[in-house]
Amino acid sequence: MNIYVGNLSYQVTDEDLRAAFENYGEVSSAKVIVDKFSNRSKGFGFVEMVRQEDAETAIKEMNDSDLQGRQIIVNQARPRNEGFRRNEGFGDRQRRF
């Protein structure tokens, strides 16, 4: 299961995120999202856990908990195609660049 983790401190690393979630089960990946130009954290990340049950426990236990001085938000990540898309809002007009 893929888990969204928000409101992260800008100092949290991939390793910090992995270590926090490994308390609940096997983590297959942990990634803090960074700005591609400044290479600075955007304050959120994703953790993928091997077992669904472990992920559900981690979400329940970690949501609204403290990680490096910040109260984090933890929930199941939505697929990328849900929510905002860059090209929405232009109607029938084509982008000219």
Domain boundaries defined on the chain: 2-76
Residue 84 has pLDDT above 90, yes or no: no
| Average pLDDT rounded to a whole number, residues 42-68 | 98
Residue type, 61: E
pLDDT for res 79: 86
pLDDT for res 24: 98
CA-CA distance, 35 to 24, in Å (whole number)? 29
- At residue 16, φ and ψ (nearest 5 deg) are -60, -45
| Average pLDDT rounded to a whole number, residues 40-51 | 98
Cβ atoms within 10 Å, residue 44: 15
pLDDT for res 33: 98
Residue 4 has pLDDT above 60, yes or no: yes
- Residue 70: beta bridge partners? 67
Candidates 3.20.20.60, 3.40.50.300, 3.40.1170.20, 3.30.70.330; CATH matching 2-76:
3.30.70.330
Encode burial over 77-91: b for 16+ CB neighbours within 10 A, e otherwise.
eeeeeeeeeeeeeee
